[in-house]
Each structure stands twice: as C-alpha cells, then as structure tokens.
Amino acid sequence: MSELTTLVVSILAFAPPVALAALGGVLSERAGVVNLGLEGIMRFGAFFGAWAALASQSAWVGLSAGALAGGAAGALLAALAIFAEADQIVAGVALNLLALGLVTFLLEWALGAAGGITDPVPALPSLSLGGLGRLPWVAAAAMLLLPALASLLLAKTPLGLRWRAVGENPRAVAAAGVSVRGLRFFAVTASGVAAGLGGALLPLAVLGRFEDRMPAGQGFIALAAVVFGKWSPLGALGAAVFFAGAEALQIEISSSGGALAALVPRGLFLALPYLLTLLALAGFVGRAVPPAADGVPWDPEAR
Amino acid sequence: MRPLLCALLAATACRRPPPAPRASGEKTIGVVTDVGGRGDQSFNDGALRGLEGWACGLAYGASGYRPLSEPERLAGVPADVIERAGAAGLPRVAGLRPYVLQARASEDYRPDLELLVSRHVALALGVGFMLEDAVAAEARAQPEQRFLLIDSPILDAAGRPVTLPNVESLTFREQEGSYLVGALAGLATRSGKVAFVGGMQVPLIQRFEAGFRAGLAATNPAAAAAAIVQYTGSFDDSSAGKRVAQALYAGGVDVAYQAAGADGLGVIEAAKEAGRFVVGVDSDQSQLAPASVLTSMIKHVDYAVYLAARDAAAGRFSPGNRELGLAEGGVGLAPIRIDFPGKAAALEKLAALRAAIIAGQISVPSRPEPLAAAPR
C-alpha cells in the first residue's frame, strides 16, 4: 500500500471529530459568541453517543443522541453567556469542567464501566481496507458535507446573512427588528450539535468504545482550527485536515527510519496546531480577523 | 463550579469517611490513588486488589465493603504469583482494614495524605509516580508516619533517588518483562516487522522500549534491526494511539507492543481491525480484543502491595527503594491464549530466557540505545 493512500486514509479516519467540532466553533463565533466549551461539548457528545448506542444497539441512535447532547450543552452555554450575560470565556471553561466531572460520574453510576471504559459500542458502517484497517466512511462524509452546507448557509441564505451580521454588528441586526439574543441562542445551540456530533464519532467511529479520557484535548485542537481556518467553515475543515495530515506524515516519516526521522523532533509535530495558530494570529499566514462582535455580550442598552 | 464537582465526587463515595475503628489492635492501611482512580484496570486497581482483596479479603461495591469467601479471594490470582508465593500461598492478613481516598486532581494528593496521617494509619500508601512529590513532602513533615510509594523512588531536587527513614518505595524492572515480550514478538512475527508504541518519551517508558528491543534481538536479530519505535506523546488520547498503530499495521507490522496508557487502547483497537497482534501492558488486556492481544506485560502491583500490607500488619518496615523484577514476582507475562505457528517452541524459549534472567545470566538494559546506533 502506498504511503499516500495511508496518509489519505489516516486523514479521513481521524480528522472528522476535530473538523466537526471546529465547524461548531465557527458557527458560534460567527454569531458573536466565543465557544470555549468545545472540549466539554465533545465529551458530552461522546459519552451520550456511546450510552445511547449501547442502550439501543444502534450506532445511528448513538450518533443522534450525541448530537442532541451536544445541542443541549450548547444551549446551556448559550443560556449562560447570552441570557445570564456571564463572561463567555468563564462559561466555556465551566462547561468543560462540568463535562469532566459529570461524565466520569455518569460513566461509573449509569454504566458501571470498569476501567473507565465501556463495552464495545455498535460501530457506524465502515469500509474494510484490509491491512489498512477500516475506514469509517460515515464520519468522513459528514466531515466533507457539513462544512460545505454550513458555508452555503452562511454565504447564500437570508438566515446566514443575519447570522454573520449578529457577529459583526448586532446593533444593525437589532435595528432591523431581529432578536439578537434569539439568533445567538440558535447559533450556539447549532454549534453544540456540530461539536456533539464530532464527539460522538470518537466512540462510534474511532475507538469503538467510550473511554473516560475522551476527547483528550481534541476540542482545543478544534479551537485552534477555528482560528487557523479564519472563522470560515471550509477554512476550519482545511485546518483540521491539515493538522491530521501533519500528524500522519510525522508517523510515516518516523516509521520509515530515514535521516528525516532523526532530524525532525516528534514534539514539533505535536506542537504544530498551536504553533500555526500563533503564526496565524500574528498575521504570518494572511490576516486572521475574528468577527467584530466576537465575544462581546449583547447589551441592548449600550451605546 | 467547585462545589458542584465536590458534590459529584461525594456522590461517587470517594470521600466517604472511614467507619470508626473497632477492636483495638486493628490496623488501617491508608491508600491515596492517583487521578486514574479506582477502576483504571491498571496501577490503582492492582494496588487495591492487593490490599482490599488479597490481604483484607474484601470486595468493594456500590454499598461499601463486602467480605469475600476464600475461593473468591483467591480467584484470578495469576499463576506466576502463586508460583512465586510458594507453599505458604497468599493467606488473608488478620486485623487489617483498608481506607481508600481517590484523588481527582493532583492538588488533592497532599491533602489526602494529610488526612491519612490524621487518621493514624499504620501505613500510608501513595499509588503511582505522580504522588512522589506529595509523599516526599508529607514524609518530611510527618517523620513518625510510615509511607509506601509505588512506582517511583523518592527523589531529591536534582532528580536523584534518596532514602527517607520513614518511606519505603517499590519500583519495577519493567525492562525484564518487556524483554520477554520482545523475545515473544521475535518468535511470533511472520512479516519480520515489529513495533513498539510508547506514550510519552520518559525514562519509565524507555525502560519498556529498551527491554523489548533487547529481547527481540535475542530471538530475531533481523526484526530487531528493522524494529520501529513510535511515541504518541500522550497517555490519554486513544485516537492518537490508533492513528499511530493503524499506520504501523498498514506498513506491514504484525506484532506491536504498547506501553502508552489510554493511547494503548487505540493501538489495541487498530490491531483488532487489522487482524494483527498486539501486546498489552500493566494488566491482562486480553478481554479488549481476545483474537489480537497476544499477551500482556503485567506489573504485579497487587502482589507488591499485598506483601507490604502483610509486613505492615507484622510491624515490619524497611525504608528505601526496592526493585521488583522477574525474580521477585514484580513483573510477568499474562497467559498466552492465542495460537500461532511454533507456539510450543516459543513458550519453551521464553521459559528458558526467564530462568536465565532470574539466574542473572542475562542482564537486561534499562535504557534504549539511540536509534541511530541500530544497524539498518
């Protein structure tokens, strides 16, 4: 099997959770709400996805439950950040902490899972590639389709126009008679659905079980992908694919045992998403400008 | 946030205060687990099995402790531990009670140890190298209290092992068990391609790598020269482990040895999907993929803790670090349940190598040579 095939399979198999969570980040931030809770939302999506899949013995039910749980977590974040006007950063961090504790508790209490790991969950359909393992094509298809749809939604529809406007200039949206808070609530909930879907892929398409340490920082990689992808759905997809590709390339290089393996330290590739994000923010990879009202709570009384 | 988390933790019963001491002369052994906690199927579970199960004859469940019958207590004790324990076996230790605190964050280690000290436990056990700092600090503050630290010696500021008069520490010669894994991999491989997948590239995991490569060289020098060594860079990311292993198996590797924590679960999943062999670590991981897990390199934390508990009950305590290898029953291989061509001869060879290591005829390196030095 050629190295290129291995690389492509690796990207299609391992980029989807990050890509979908990053899409969630874009959906939220384009509406003006910073979603720092992606990691926690992915964790909820992963756990409830696995739980529902185990209970129903259907991966599709699991996937739906993961999306629903993500949506609920997104709605919670939205309620805190938009209606309670909590600091968006603090609310996001709080959501991550809640997911950390609550999921560990539920895993023990509801599933009685020994070793912090569940029984095998029903897997999403996948394509057998012989020695290459299995390719979970549902995850790959979702990764390629959903950002494209979101891109169309944001760019071509009236809802998309308002969505973007509420993140750039909420005052104008309010003047046009549209509820800023309502629109933002919808956007952050949609963000949760996407990130929850990404999280649900971890047990249903990657590990085949839920494991207590999921998603192990992939939500933060997704945050990096949002910035590196310049707050656009396709950009975030590109960033997620790029990060996964760099990781796969590093594995190829260090497995080949050539001179390059000795030359490029492993840690460099592990740090790559963060380094590139810093570079993007510093303006080295073209300008990375967040939506103007990103992170600014909507206060109708403010002048 | 904090109160909510605490409420959740309280609900999982990890902070349940111990019952009041009953009969005088009963000794309490206190345990602080690392953040992996009860149910990690690894170090913490091993330590708790040795103390609660083997020494005290108790099983922990949702409603607290329940006494075990004698057959229940000894069910599942590995054959090499029974062999090692000899005719005396593993008797229940009278007059011992466990008191277990599960740390949920590294900031909890020191307060949890302080709680054990305030409860006047006979021995305060810290499970895992992550508790080294906390145990060292608390031992210096409480010279009257006896401590036992698992998986790391006490270190000074420069990282050199030191001896405190009230701390005993146990470490394992993982390289010796890993040597047997390497030897087995060399005999079981058909493609001649084998790989080691580590978590973080730290000295502890490098001991696994060193032993593995030495054992591989003993039975299959060609495979040793071409062996692939990969580190995932984490211990908590099953996706990263699967990503690495999937690429290795795609490249023709047919036996991989993982010492990578949760990343290793991903390695096992990749082996299952590719239909290749993988060797588990710390505990018998066979049930995760019965057709793919060739064996597991087990650290007998349970046995080590059992012996320490027995000593504590008898009032014996020997400060300083002790290394447990094959000879001491500290490490060993799980039963090899999978058949492969030449299995009988391979098992004989493994037994001979094990005997040679125990007899001191083979000295297993604890540090890998730089990869560049390996012939290609």
Q: What is the pLDDT of residue B87?
A: 63
Q: What is the pLDDT of residue B370?
A: 57
Count other Cβ atoms within 10 Å, centred on residue B25: 8
Q: Answer yes or no: do B41 and A114 touch at CB < 8 A.
A: yes
Calculate how close chain A gets to B42, using CA atoms only, in Å: 8
Mean predicted lDDT score pLDDT of chain B: 86
Number of domains in chain A: 1
For the segment B208-229, what is each residue's pLDDT rounded down to a tens digit?
Answer: 999 999 999 999 999 998 899 9
For the segment B302-353, what is each residue's pLDDT rounded down to a tens digit?
Answer: 999 998 999 888 888 989 999 999 988 889 999 999 999 989 999 999 999 9
Per the domain annotation, does A119 fall within a domain?
A: yes
Question: pLDDT band for position A208 (50/70/90)?
Answer: very high
Predicted TM-score (pTM) of the model is: 0.84
Instruction: Indicate the residue of B9, B228, B270 with minimum beta-carbon distance to A133.
Output: B270
Contact B206, B229 (CB under 8 A): no
Q: What does the alpha-carbon distance between residue B355 and residue B353 come to, in Å, rounded to a whole number?
A: 5
Which tokens in the block code for residue A211?
A: 């494991």
Q: Answer yes or no: do B242 and A14 touch at CB < 8 A.
A: yes
Q: Answer yes or no: do A209 and B265 touch at CB < 8 A.
A: yes
Instruction: Indicate the residue of B233, B272, B273 with minimum beta-carbon distance to A270.
Output: B233
| % of chain B with per-residue pLDDT over 90 | 47
Comparing B96 with A268, which gets the higher pLDDT? B96
* Nearest residue in B to A114, CA atom: B39
Per the document, the length of chain A is 303
Average pLDDT over residues B51-67: 86
Comparing B267 with A247, which gets the higher pLDDT? B267
Per the domain annotation, does A108 fall within a domain?
A: yes
CATH of the domain at A88: 1.10.3470
Per the domain annotation, does A237 fall within a domain?
A: yes
Q: What is the pLDDT of residue A260?
A: 62
The CATH architecture to which B174-299+339-370 belongs is 3-Layer(aba) Sandwich (3.40)
Q: What is the pLDDT of residue A286?
A: 65
Q: Answer yes or no: do A117 and B228 touch at CB < 8 A.
A: no
Residues B20, B106, B238, A28, CA torsion sign:
positive
In CATH, what number does B25-172+302-324 get?
A: 3.40.50.2300
Beta strands in A88-199 (DSSP E): 127-128, 134-135
Q: Chain-centre distance of CA A191, in angstroms?
A: 9
Q: What is the pLDDT of residue B315?
A: 87
Q: What does the alpha-carbon distance between residue B297 and residue B260 come to, in Å, rounded to a whole number?
A: 12
Calculate how close chain A gets to B119, using CA atoms only, in Å: 27
ipTM associated with this complex:
0.88
Q: What is the pLDDT of residue A303?
A: 58
Per the domain annotation, does A199 fall within a domain?
A: yes
- List CB contacts (< 8 A) between B8 and chain A: 101-102, 104-105
Q: What is the pLDDT of residue A74?
A: 95
Comparing B103 with B176, which gets the higher pLDDT? B176
Q: What is the pLDDT of residue B105?
A: 80
Q: What does the alpha-carbon distance between residue B243 and residue A6 come to, in Å, rounded to a whole number?
A: 11
Q: Are B25-172+302-324 and B174-299+339-370 in the same CATH fold?
A: yes
Per the domain annotation, does A292 fall within a domain?
A: no
Which tokens in the block code for residue B136?
A: 């060292």
For the segment A8-31, what is each residue's pLDDT rounded down to a tens digit?
Answer: 999 999 999 999 999 999 999 999
Where do the structural domains in chain B lie, given as residue ranges? 25-172+302-324, 174-299+339-370
Choose the mutation target among A87, A117, A118 for the interface with B, i.e. most B CBs under 10 Å: A117
Question: pLDDT band for position A83 (50/70/90)?
Answer: confident
- List CB contacts (< 8 A) between A261 and chain B: 371
Question: pLDDT band for position B10 (50/70/90)?
Answer: very low
For the segment B236-265, what is each residue's pLDDT rounded down to a tens digit?
Answer: 889 999 999 999 998 889 999 999 988 999
Q: Which residues of A32-54 are buried (b: 16+ CB within 10 A; e: fewer)?
A: bbbbbbbbbbbbbbbbbbbbbbb
pLDDT of residue A81 exceeding 60, the answer is yes
Range of the domain at A121: 3-281
Q: Answer yes or no: do A248 and B243 touch at CB < 8 A.
A: yes
Calculate how close chain B gets to A270, using CA atoms only, in Å: 7
Contact A18, A222 (CB under 8 A): yes
* Nearest residue in B to A208, CA atom: B269
Per the domain annotation, does A286 fall within a domain?
A: no
Average pLDDT over residues A179-200: 94
Q: Answer yes or no: do B243 and A247 touch at CB < 8 A.
A: yes
Q: What does the alpha-carbon distance between residue B312 and residue B170 come to, in Å, rounded to a whole number?
A: 15
Instruction: Indicate the residue of B4, B247, B265 with minimum beta-carbon distance to A10.
Output: B247
For the segment B21-31, what is each residue's pLDDT rounded down to a tens digit?
Answer: 445 578 899 99
Per the domain annotation, does A271 fall within a domain?
A: yes
Per the domain annotation, does A300 fall within a domain?
A: no
Dihedral of CA atoms B296, B298, B302, B305 in degrees, nearest 10, equals -170
Question: pLDDT band for position A285 (50/70/90)?
Answer: low
Helix B132-141, helix B109-118: angle, nearest 10: 40
